[in-house]
Amino acid sequence: MDHEGRLPAKLPAALLLAIALTLAPSTTSSRRAAPRMPVPEPPRSLDPVAVNRDCERCHAEIAREWRGSKHQRAYVDAPFQAALAKEPLPFCRGCHAPEARSSRPPPPERAELGVACVTCHVVDGAPLAAPAPGGEDQGSPSPASSSSPSSPASPSVPHPVLRDPRFASAAACGGCHEFAFPDHAARRAPEPMQLTLTEHAASAYADVPCARCHMPLAGHGPSAHRSHAFASSRRTPERRTPGPRAQRRPRSPRAARRRS
Ligand code: HEC
Ligand code: HEC
Ligand code: HEC
Ligand code: HEC
Ligand code: HEC
Protein backbone atom coordinates (compact mmCIF):
# COMPACT_ATOMS: atom_id res chain seq x y z
CA MET A 1 0.00 0.00 0.00
CA ASP A 2 1.33 3.35 -0.79
CA HIS A 3 -1.24 5.59 0.74
CA GLU A 4 -0.46 5.15 4.43
CA GLY A 5 -0.57 8.24 6.57
CA ARG A 6 3.02 9.06 5.76
CA LEU A 7 2.36 9.51 2.06
CA PRO A 8 1.23 13.10 2.06
CA ALA A 9 4.56 14.16 3.52
CA LYS A 10 6.26 12.79 0.41
CA LEU A 11 4.10 14.82 -1.92
CA PRO A 12 5.31 18.17 -3.17
CA ALA A 13 3.65 21.00 -1.28
CA ALA A 14 2.39 22.46 -4.55
CA LEU A 15 0.46 19.29 -5.36
CA LEU A 16 -1.10 19.16 -1.92
CA LEU A 17 -2.14 22.76 -2.26
CA ALA A 18 -3.63 22.05 -5.68
CA ILE A 19 -5.63 19.18 -4.22
CA ALA A 20 -6.76 21.29 -1.30
CA LEU A 21 -7.85 24.05 -3.66
CA THR A 22 -9.69 21.66 -5.91
CA LEU A 23 -11.45 19.80 -3.17
CA ALA A 24 -11.94 22.41 -0.49
CA PRO A 25 -13.89 25.38 -1.91
CA SER A 26 -17.38 24.02 -1.73
CA THR A 27 -16.98 22.32 1.64
CA THR A 28 -18.17 25.29 3.60
CA SER A 29 -21.32 25.80 1.57
CA SER A 30 -21.95 22.04 1.54
CA ARG A 31 -22.08 22.16 5.29
CA ARG A 32 -25.54 23.67 4.99
CA ALA A 33 -27.08 21.66 2.16
CA ALA A 34 -26.81 17.90 2.19
CA PRO A 35 -24.47 16.64 -0.53
CA ARG A 36 -26.09 15.28 -3.66
CA MET A 37 -25.56 11.72 -4.85
CA PRO A 38 -23.84 10.69 -8.10
CA VAL A 39 -25.86 11.25 -11.28
CA PRO A 40 -25.20 11.04 -15.01
CA GLU A 41 -23.11 13.93 -16.32
CA PRO A 42 -22.69 15.93 -13.10
CA PRO A 43 -22.01 19.68 -13.47
CA ARG A 44 -18.26 20.24 -13.20
CA SER A 45 -15.92 23.13 -12.63
CA LEU A 46 -12.95 20.89 -11.88
CA ASP A 47 -10.67 19.16 -14.40
CA PRO A 48 -11.82 15.57 -13.91
CA VAL A 49 -8.75 14.07 -15.60
CA ALA A 50 -6.27 15.84 -13.32
CA VAL A 51 -8.28 15.34 -10.14
CA ASN A 52 -8.91 11.68 -10.92
CA ARG A 53 -5.18 11.19 -11.44
CA ASP A 54 -4.65 12.52 -7.92
CA CYS A 55 -7.22 10.14 -6.45
CA GLU A 56 -5.56 7.25 -8.24
CA ARG A 57 -2.08 8.23 -7.12
CA CYS A 58 -2.94 8.11 -3.43
CA HIS A 59 -5.50 5.29 -3.57
CA ALA A 60 -3.42 2.95 -5.70
CA GLU A 61 -5.05 -0.30 -4.63
CA ILE A 62 -8.57 0.93 -5.29
CA ALA A 63 -7.38 2.44 -8.57
CA ARG A 64 -6.04 -0.96 -9.65
CA GLU A 65 -9.44 -2.49 -8.99
CA TRP A 66 -11.28 0.27 -10.80
CA ARG A 67 -8.99 0.22 -13.88
CA GLY A 68 -10.41 -2.37 -16.26
CA SER A 69 -13.76 -2.48 -14.43
CA LYS A 70 -17.06 -2.04 -16.26
CA HIS A 71 -17.27 1.41 -14.72
CA GLN A 72 -13.89 2.60 -15.97
CA ARG A 73 -14.57 1.04 -19.39
CA ALA A 74 -18.19 2.22 -19.61
CA TYR A 75 -17.52 4.29 -22.73
CA VAL A 76 -14.60 2.52 -24.42
CA ASP A 77 -15.96 -1.03 -24.09
CA ALA A 78 -16.78 -2.76 -27.39
CA PRO A 79 -20.42 -3.66 -26.58
CA PHE A 80 -21.21 -0.05 -25.73
CA GLN A 81 -19.37 1.30 -28.78
CA ALA A 82 -21.31 -1.10 -31.01
CA ALA A 83 -24.61 0.04 -29.52
CA LEU A 84 -23.64 3.71 -29.69
CA ALA A 85 -22.71 3.39 -33.35
CA LYS A 86 -26.30 2.37 -34.08
CA GLU A 87 -27.73 5.05 -31.87
CA PRO A 88 -25.37 7.95 -31.28
CA LEU A 89 -27.48 9.85 -28.74
CA PRO A 90 -26.08 12.44 -26.30
CA PHE A 91 -28.35 10.70 -23.76
CA CYS A 92 -26.14 7.61 -23.94
CA ARG A 93 -22.92 9.54 -23.45
CA GLY A 94 -24.29 11.24 -20.33
CA CYS A 95 -24.01 7.98 -18.39
CA HIS A 96 -21.28 6.12 -20.22
CA ALA A 97 -18.89 9.10 -20.43
CA PRO A 98 -20.24 11.22 -17.58
CA GLU A 99 -17.06 13.30 -17.26
CA ALA A 100 -17.49 14.93 -20.68
CA ARG A 101 -20.24 17.09 -22.13
CA SER A 102 -22.72 14.78 -23.77
CA SER A 103 -23.46 17.10 -26.70
CA ARG A 104 -20.50 15.78 -28.67
CA PRO A 105 -18.13 12.78 -28.57
CA PRO A 106 -15.83 12.96 -25.54
CA PRO A 107 -12.11 13.71 -25.82
CA PRO A 108 -10.17 10.41 -25.49
CA GLU A 109 -8.80 11.08 -22.01
CA ARG A 110 -12.31 11.78 -20.68
CA ALA A 111 -13.75 8.78 -22.51
CA GLU A 112 -11.10 6.66 -20.75
CA LEU A 113 -12.35 7.87 -17.36
CA GLY A 114 -15.76 6.28 -17.89
CA VAL A 115 -17.53 6.27 -14.52
CA ALA A 116 -14.59 7.54 -12.49
CA CYS A 117 -13.55 8.20 -8.90
CA VAL A 118 -14.64 11.81 -9.37
CA THR A 119 -18.00 10.77 -10.86
CA CYS A 120 -19.10 8.84 -7.79
CA HIS A 121 -17.17 10.65 -5.06
CA VAL A 122 -16.73 14.29 -6.01
CA VAL A 123 -20.21 15.64 -6.35
CA ASP A 124 -20.13 18.77 -4.22
CA GLY A 125 -16.44 19.46 -3.76
CA ALA A 126 -14.93 17.13 -1.16
CA PRO A 127 -15.06 13.34 -1.69
CA LEU A 128 -18.26 11.72 -0.51
CA ALA A 129 -17.78 8.82 1.90
CA ALA A 130 -19.90 6.37 3.83
CA PRO A 131 -20.13 7.07 7.56
CA ALA A 132 -17.71 4.26 8.40
CA PRO A 133 -14.62 3.60 6.24
CA GLY A 134 -14.36 -0.01 5.10
CA GLY A 135 -18.04 -0.46 5.75
CA GLU A 136 -17.50 -2.67 8.79
CA ASP A 137 -20.38 -1.32 10.77
CA GLN A 138 -22.55 0.92 8.70
CA GLY A 139 -25.81 -0.60 9.81
CA SER A 140 -28.79 -0.02 7.59
CA PRO A 141 -28.95 3.06 5.43
CA SER A 142 -30.23 6.07 7.33
CA PRO A 143 -32.79 8.54 6.05
CA ALA A 144 -31.52 11.16 3.64
CA SER A 145 -32.02 13.94 6.15
CA SER A 146 -29.38 12.65 8.53
CA SER A 147 -26.57 13.64 6.23
CA SER A 148 -23.69 15.13 8.18
CA PRO A 149 -20.83 16.59 6.17
CA SER A 150 -17.69 16.70 8.24
CA SER A 151 -13.99 17.16 8.10
CA PRO A 152 -11.64 14.15 8.18
CA ALA A 153 -12.33 11.72 11.02
CA SER A 154 -8.64 10.98 11.42
CA PRO A 155 -5.47 12.95 10.76
CA SER A 156 -4.45 10.28 8.22
CA VAL A 157 -7.01 11.60 5.73
CA PRO A 158 -5.28 14.49 3.99
CA HIS A 159 -8.41 15.97 2.47
CA PRO A 160 -11.90 16.97 3.55
CA VAL A 161 -14.57 14.27 3.42
CA LEU A 162 -18.35 14.57 3.17
CA ARG A 163 -19.82 11.72 5.15
CA ASP A 164 -23.34 10.79 4.14
CA PRO A 165 -25.28 7.66 5.12
CA ARG A 166 -26.91 7.68 1.70
CA PHE A 167 -23.52 6.97 0.15
CA ALA A 168 -23.61 3.56 1.88
CA SER A 169 -27.10 2.96 0.44
CA ALA A 170 -28.69 2.33 -2.95
CA ALA A 171 -28.82 6.11 -3.47
CA ALA A 172 -25.13 6.05 -4.45
CA CYS A 173 -26.02 3.88 -7.45
CA GLY A 174 -29.57 4.83 -8.31
CA GLY A 175 -28.83 7.97 -10.32
CA CYS A 176 -27.43 5.79 -13.11
CA HIS A 177 -28.91 2.37 -12.51
CA GLU A 178 -32.52 3.49 -12.56
CA PHE A 179 -33.76 5.33 -15.61
CA ALA A 180 -36.11 5.26 -18.55
CA PHE A 181 -35.15 5.78 -22.15
CA PRO A 182 -36.16 9.14 -23.62
CA ASP A 183 -39.54 9.13 -25.32
CA HIS A 184 -38.23 9.64 -28.81
CA ALA A 185 -35.97 6.65 -28.62
CA ALA A 186 -38.45 3.98 -29.65
CA ARG A 187 -36.29 1.09 -30.70
CA ARG A 188 -35.00 -2.35 -29.99
CA ALA A 189 -32.55 -1.48 -27.23
CA PRO A 190 -29.37 -3.52 -26.85
CA GLU A 191 -30.09 -3.33 -23.15
CA PRO A 192 -33.55 -2.79 -21.79
CA MET A 193 -33.99 0.29 -19.64
CA GLN A 194 -32.43 -0.09 -16.23
CA LEU A 195 -34.74 -0.63 -13.33
CA THR A 196 -32.21 -2.08 -10.97
CA LEU A 197 -33.35 0.06 -8.07
CA THR A 198 -36.97 -0.94 -8.50
CA GLU A 199 -35.98 -4.58 -8.78
CA HIS A 200 -33.85 -4.20 -5.70
CA ALA A 201 -36.59 -2.49 -3.68
CA ALA A 202 -39.07 -5.23 -4.60
CA SER A 203 -36.68 -8.02 -3.73
CA ALA A 204 -35.98 -9.93 -0.54
CA TYR A 205 -32.74 -7.92 -0.33
CA ALA A 206 -34.35 -4.48 -0.21
CA ASP A 207 -32.59 -3.81 3.09
CA VAL A 208 -29.18 -4.82 1.77
CA PRO A 209 -27.33 -1.89 0.18
CA CYS A 210 -25.99 -2.51 -3.35
CA ALA A 211 -22.42 -2.03 -2.14
CA ARG A 212 -22.68 -4.88 0.37
CA CYS A 213 -22.91 -7.33 -2.53
CA HIS A 214 -21.18 -5.48 -5.33
CA MET A 215 -18.32 -4.01 -3.30
CA PRO A 216 -17.16 -6.90 -1.09
CA LEU A 217 -14.44 -6.18 1.46
CA ALA A 218 -10.93 -6.61 0.10
CA GLY A 219 -7.54 -6.46 1.79
CA HIS A 220 -6.66 -6.91 5.43
CA GLY A 221 -6.05 -4.75 8.46
CA PRO A 222 -5.44 -1.12 7.63
CA SER A 223 -5.69 -1.78 3.89
CA ALA A 224 -9.17 -3.32 4.21
CA HIS A 225 -11.54 -1.52 1.88
CA ARG A 226 -14.57 -2.09 -0.30
CA SER A 227 -13.50 -3.54 -3.63
CA HIS A 228 -13.99 -1.26 -6.62
CA ALA A 229 -13.73 -3.98 -9.26
CA PHE A 230 -17.56 -4.22 -9.53
CA ALA A 231 -17.24 -7.78 -10.74
CA SER A 232 -20.28 -9.19 -12.48
CA SER A 233 -21.40 -12.27 -14.29
CA ARG A 234 -20.65 -10.62 -17.60
CA ARG A 235 -17.10 -9.83 -16.63
CA THR A 236 -14.67 -11.57 -18.94
CA PRO A 237 -12.00 -13.71 -17.26
CA GLU A 238 -9.07 -11.81 -18.76
CA ARG A 239 -10.29 -8.60 -17.15
CA ARG A 240 -10.69 -10.11 -13.72
CA THR A 241 -8.43 -8.32 -11.27
CA PRO A 242 -6.45 -10.44 -8.86
CA GLY A 243 -6.92 -9.85 -5.19
CA PRO A 244 -10.33 -9.53 -3.62
CA ARG A 245 -11.77 -12.97 -3.12
CA ALA A 246 -15.43 -12.66 -3.90
CA GLN A 247 -17.61 -12.98 -0.86
CA ARG A 248 -20.30 -15.58 -0.89
CA ARG A 249 -22.98 -13.74 -2.76
CA PRO A 250 -26.64 -14.31 -2.08
CA ARG A 251 -28.95 -14.73 -4.99
CA SER A 252 -29.51 -11.53 -6.90
CA PRO A 253 -32.77 -9.65 -6.68
CA ARG A 254 -33.27 -10.40 -10.37
CA ALA A 255 -32.68 -14.08 -9.98
CA ALA A 256 -34.91 -14.11 -6.93
CA ARG A 257 -37.71 -12.44 -8.85
CA ARG A 258 -37.27 -14.64 -11.86
CA ARG A 259 -37.92 -17.69 -9.76
CA SER A 260 -40.85 -16.34 -7.82
C1 HEC B 1 -2.59 13.18 -1.05
C2 HEC B 1 -3.13 11.84 -1.15
C3 HEC B 1 -4.62 11.71 -1.41
C4 HEC B 1 -5.35 12.23 -2.45
C5 HEC B 1 -4.87 13.11 -3.59
C6 HEC B 1 -6.67 11.71 -2.30
N7 HEC B 1 -6.77 10.94 -1.18
FE8 HEC B 1 -8.46 10.14 -0.40
N9 HEC B 1 -7.46 9.57 1.26
C10 HEC B 1 -6.09 9.60 1.39
C11 HEC B 1 -5.71 8.92 2.63
C12 HEC B 1 -4.28 8.72 3.14
C13 HEC B 1 -6.92 8.49 3.23
C14 HEC B 1 -7.09 7.72 4.55
C15 HEC B 1 -6.71 6.27 4.35
C16 HEC B 1 -7.66 5.57 3.42
O17 HEC B 1 -8.87 5.59 3.67
O18 HEC B 1 -7.19 5.04 2.40
C19 HEC B 1 -8.00 8.90 2.33
C20 HEC B 1 -9.35 8.64 2.53
C21 HEC B 1 -10.32 8.76 1.55
C22 HEC B 1 -11.69 8.30 1.67
C23 HEC B 1 -12.28 7.56 2.83
C24 HEC B 1 -12.62 8.48 3.92
C25 HEC B 1 -13.13 7.66 5.08
O26 HEC B 1 -12.47 7.71 6.11
O27 HEC B 1 -14.13 7.00 4.94
C28 HEC B 1 -12.32 8.55 0.49
C29 HEC B 1 -13.76 8.25 0.13
C30 HEC B 1 -11.34 9.17 -0.37
N31 HEC B 1 -10.16 9.29 0.31
C32 HEC B 1 -11.59 9.51 -1.67
C33 HEC B 1 -10.70 10.23 -2.45
C34 HEC B 1 -11.01 10.72 -3.77
C35 HEC B 1 -12.29 10.46 -4.51
C36 HEC B 1 -9.92 11.43 -4.19
C37 HEC B 1 -9.79 12.23 -5.48
C38 HEC B 1 -10.78 13.28 -5.63
C39 HEC B 1 -8.93 11.37 -3.13
N40 HEC B 1 -9.43 10.62 -2.11
C41 HEC B 1 -7.69 11.97 -3.20
C42 HEC B 1 -5.19 10.20 0.54
C43 HEC B 1 -5.54 10.90 -0.60
C1 HEC C 1 -28.90 6.74 -16.89
C2 HEC C 1 -27.69 6.05 -17.27
C3 HEC C 1 -27.59 5.36 -18.63
C4 HEC C 1 -27.93 5.84 -19.86
C5 HEC C 1 -28.53 7.20 -20.20
C6 HEC C 1 -27.57 4.81 -20.82
N7 HEC C 1 -27.02 3.74 -20.17
FE8 HEC C 1 -26.29 2.05 -21.02
N9 HEC C 1 -25.96 1.26 -19.19
C10 HEC C 1 -26.19 1.90 -18.00
C11 HEC C 1 -25.95 0.99 -16.91
C12 HEC C 1 -26.11 1.32 -15.42
C13 HEC C 1 -25.56 -0.23 -17.49
C14 HEC C 1 -25.21 -1.53 -16.78
C15 HEC C 1 -26.51 -2.16 -16.39
C16 HEC C 1 -26.55 -3.63 -16.27
O17 HEC C 1 -25.63 -4.32 -16.69
O18 HEC C 1 -27.58 -4.12 -15.74
C19 HEC C 1 -25.57 -0.03 -18.93
C20 HEC C 1 -25.23 -1.01 -19.87
C21 HEC C 1 -25.21 -0.81 -21.23
C22 HEC C 1 -24.75 -1.77 -22.20
C23 HEC C 1 -24.16 -3.14 -21.90
C24 HEC C 1 -22.66 -2.95 -21.86
C25 HEC C 1 -21.88 -4.24 -21.71
O26 HEC C 1 -20.65 -4.14 -21.52
O27 HEC C 1 -22.45 -5.32 -21.79
C28 HEC C 1 -24.90 -1.21 -23.45
C29 HEC C 1 -24.53 -1.82 -24.78
C30 HEC C 1 -25.47 0.11 -23.23
N31 HEC C 1 -25.64 0.32 -21.87
C32 HEC C 1 -25.78 0.99 -24.25
C33 HEC C 1 -26.43 2.20 -24.05
C34 HEC C 1 -26.94 3.04 -25.14
C35 HEC C 1 -26.79 2.73 -26.61
C36 HEC C 1 -27.52 4.11 -24.57
C37 HEC C 1 -28.27 5.25 -25.25
C38 HEC C 1 -29.44 4.80 -26.03
C39 HEC C 1 -27.36 3.97 -23.11
N40 HEC C 1 -26.71 2.80 -22.86
C41 HEC C 1 -27.79 4.90 -22.18
C42 HEC C 1 -26.57 3.22 -17.82
C43 HEC C 1 -27.01 4.03 -18.82
C1 HEC D 1 -22.36 7.78 -12.96
C2 HEC D 1 -23.18 6.61 -13.26
C3 HEC D 1 -23.03 5.36 -12.40
C4 HEC D 1 -23.05 5.24 -11.03
C5 HEC D 1 -23.16 6.34 -9.99
C6 HEC D 1 -22.95 3.82 -10.74
N7 HEC D 1 -22.89 3.11 -11.91
FE8 HEC D 1 -22.69 1.09 -12.08
N9 HEC D 1 -22.52 1.29 -14.10
C10 HEC D 1 -22.70 2.46 -14.82
C11 HEC D 1 -22.59 2.19 -16.23
C12 HEC D 1 -22.73 3.21 -17.36
C13 HEC D 1 -22.33 0.81 -16.36
C14 HEC D 1 -22.20 -0.01 -17.64
C15 HEC D 1 -20.79 -0.06 -18.10
C16 HEC D 1 -20.70 -0.86 -19.40
O17 HEC D 1 -20.55 -2.06 -19.31
O18 HEC D 1 -20.79 -0.26 -20.46
C19 HEC D 1 -22.27 0.27 -14.99
C20 HEC D 1 -22.01 -1.06 -14.67
C21 HEC D 1 -22.14 -1.62 -13.41
C22 HEC D 1 -21.97 -3.01 -13.09
C23 HEC D 1 -21.58 -4.10 -14.07
C24 HEC D 1 -22.79 -4.48 -14.83
C25 HEC D 1 -22.52 -5.55 -15.85
O26 HEC D 1 -23.38 -5.68 -16.74
O27 HEC D 1 -21.53 -6.24 -15.76
C28 HEC D 1 -22.25 -3.17 -11.77
C29 HEC D 1 -22.25 -4.47 -10.99
C30 HEC D 1 -22.55 -1.85 -11.25
N31 HEC D 1 -22.47 -0.93 -12.27
C32 HEC D 1 -22.89 -1.59 -9.94
C33 HEC D 1 -22.97 -0.31 -9.40
C34 HEC D 1 -23.14 -0.03 -7.99
C35 HEC D 1 -23.29 -1.09 -6.92
C36 HEC D 1 -23.15 1.32 -7.86
C37 HEC D 1 -23.24 2.14 -6.58
C38 HEC D 1 -22.21 1.87 -5.60
C39 HEC D 1 -22.98 1.91 -9.19
N40 HEC D 1 -22.88 0.88 -10.08
C41 HEC D 1 -22.95 3.27 -9.46
C42 HEC D 1 -22.94 3.70 -14.29
C43 HEC D 1 -22.95 4.01 -12.94
C1 HEC E 1 -28.06 -9.45 -2.10
C2 HEC E 1 -26.95 -9.09 -2.98
C3 HEC E 1 -27.22 -8.01 -4.03
C4 HEC E 1 -27.79 -6.77 -3.83
C5 HEC E 1 -28.30 -6.16 -2.55
C6 HEC E 1 -27.74 -6.12 -5.14
N7 HEC E 1 -27.20 -6.96 -6.07
FE8 HEC E 1 -26.91 -6.51 -8.02
N9 HEC E 1 -26.46 -8.47 -8.40
C10 HEC E 1 -26.19 -9.41 -7.43
C11 HEC E 1 -25.79 -10.64 -8.10
C12 HEC E 1 -25.41 -11.97 -7.41
C13 HEC E 1 -25.85 -10.41 -9.52
C14 HEC E 1 -25.57 -11.36 -10.67
C15 HEC E 1 -26.93 -11.86 -11.08
C16 HEC E 1 -27.00 -12.66 -12.33
O17 HEC E 1 -26.01 -12.81 -13.01
O18 HEC E 1 -28.15 -13.10 -12.62
C19 HEC E 1 -26.27 -9.01 -9.66
C20 HEC E 1 -26.40 -8.34 -10.85
C21 HEC E 1 -26.39 -6.96 -10.98
C22 HEC E 1 -26.15 -6.21 -12.21
C23 HEC E 1 -25.95 -6.80 -13.57
C24 HEC E 1 -24.57 -7.31 -13.67
C25 HEC E 1 -24.56 -8.70 -14.19
O26 HEC E 1 -23.90 -9.52 -13.55
O27 HEC E 1 -25.19 -8.97 -15.22
C28 HEC E 1 -26.18 -4.87 -11.90
C29 HEC E 1 -25.97 -3.70 -12.83
C30 HEC E 1 -26.46 -4.79 -10.47
N31 HEC E 1 -26.59 -6.07 -9.97
C32 HEC E 1 -26.58 -3.61 -9.77
C33 HEC E 1 -27.12 -3.53 -8.50
C34 HEC E 1 -27.59 -2.31 -7.87
C35 HEC E 1 -27.50 -0.92 -8.50
C36 HEC E 1 -28.07 -2.67 -6.65
C37 HEC E 1 -28.74 -1.77 -5.61
C38 HEC E 1 -29.91 -1.03 -6.07
C39 HEC E 1 -27.88 -4.10 -6.49
N40 HEC E 1 -27.33 -4.58 -7.65
C41 HEC E 1 -28.19 -4.83 -5.35
C42 HEC E 1 -26.28 -9.23 -6.06
C43 HEC E 1 -26.87 -8.13 -5.45
C1 HEC F 1 -19.46 3.53 -9.08
C2 HEC F 1 -19.17 4.45 -8.03
C3 HEC F 1 -17.76 4.52 -7.48
C4 HEC F 1 -16.60 4.68 -8.19
C5 HEC F 1 -16.41 4.74 -9.70
C6 HEC F 1 -15.55 4.79 -7.21
N7 HEC F 1 -16.06 4.67 -5.95
FE8 HEC F 1 -15.02 4.70 -4.19
N9 HEC F 1 -16.68 4.16 -3.17
C10 HEC F 1 -17.96 4.11 -3.72
C11 HEC F 1 -18.90 3.78 -2.67
C12 HEC F 1 -20.40 3.64 -2.85
C13 HEC F 1 -18.13 3.63 -1.48
C14 HEC F 1 -18.66 3.32 -0.08
C15 HEC F 1 -19.06 1.89 0.02
C16 HEC F 1 -19.57 1.57 1.40
O17 HEC F 1 -18.81 1.71 2.36
O18 HEC F 1 -20.74 1.23 1.52
C19 HEC F 1 -16.75 3.89 -1.84
C20 HEC F 1 -15.68 3.85 -0.94
C21 HEC F 1 -14.42 4.38 -1.22
C22 HEC F 1 -13.36 4.61 -0.25
C23 HEC F 1 -13.43 4.34 1.23
C24 HEC F 1 -12.79 3.02 1.51
C25 HEC F 1 -13.77 2.02 1.96
O26 HEC F 1 -13.42 0.85 2.00
O27 HEC F 1 -14.91 2.35 2.28
C28 HEC F 1 -12.30 5.15 -0.93
C29 HEC F 1 -10.95 5.54 -0.33
C30 HEC F 1 -12.69 5.25 -2.31
N31 HEC F 1 -13.97 4.76 -2.45
C32 HEC F 1 -11.88 5.74 -3.30
C33 HEC F 1 -12.17 5.64 -4.68
C34 HEC F 1 -11.22 5.90 -5.73
C35 HEC F 1 -9.79 6.35 -5.52
C36 HEC F 1 -11.85 5.66 -6.91
C37 HEC F 1 -11.28 5.68 -8.32
C38 HEC F 1 -10.08 4.85 -8.54
C39 HEC F 1 -13.22 5.28 -6.59
N40 HEC F 1 -13.36 5.27 -5.23
C41 HEC F 1 -14.21 5.00 -7.52
C42 HEC F 1 -18.31 4.33 -5.03
C43 HEC F 1 -17.42 4.50 -6.07
Distance of CA 165 from the midpoint of ligand 4 (Å): 20
Find out whether the beta carbon of 161 lies less than 6 Å from any atom of ligand 5. no
Find out whether the beta carbon of 53 lies less than 6 Å from any atom of ligand 1. no
Find out whether the beta carbon of 178 lies less than 6 Å from any atom of ligand 5. no
pLDDT band at 109 (very low <50, low <70, confident <90, very high): very high
Q: Report the residue among 51, 53, 58, 123 best suited for mutation to probe ligand 1: largest number of ligand atoms under 8 A from its CB.
A: 58
Please give the share of the chain, as a percent, with pLDDT higher than 90.
45
**pLDDT exceeds cutoff 60 at 156:** yes
Which is more confidently placed, 104 or 255? 104
The most confident of the ranges 26-30, 62-66, 156-160 is 62-66
> Would the pTM count as exceeding 0.75?
yes
Find out whether the beta carbon of 127 lies less than 6 Å from any atom of ligand 3. no
- Render pLDDT for 191-247 as a digit per residue (tens, 0 to 9): 444 556 666 666 766 788 899 999 999 998 888 999 999 976 554 443 443 333 333
Domain regions of the chain by residue span: 7-130+151-259
Distance of CA 17 from the midpoint of ligand 3 (Å): 32
- Render pLDDT for 40-64 as a digit per residue (tens, 0 to 9): 988 888 999 999 999 999 999 999 9
Find out whether the beta carbon of 153 lies less than 6 Å from any atom of ligand 1. yes
Q: What is the pLDDT of residue 205?
A: 67
- Helix H or strand E encompassing 94: helix 90-96
In order, the DSSP letters of 122-178 are: -SBSBPEE-SSGGGTT--SPPPGGG---BS-SSTT--S-BEE-GGGGSTHHHHHHHB
> What span, in angstroms and rounded, lies between the C-alpha atoms of 14 and 12?
5
Q: What is the pLDDT of residue 260?
A: 38
Distance of CA 113 from the midpoint of ligand 3 (Å): 13
Find out whether the beta carbon of 123 lies less than 6 Å from any atom of ligand 1. no
- Render pLDDT for 68-87 as a digit per residue (tens, 0 to 9): 999 999 999 999 999 999 99
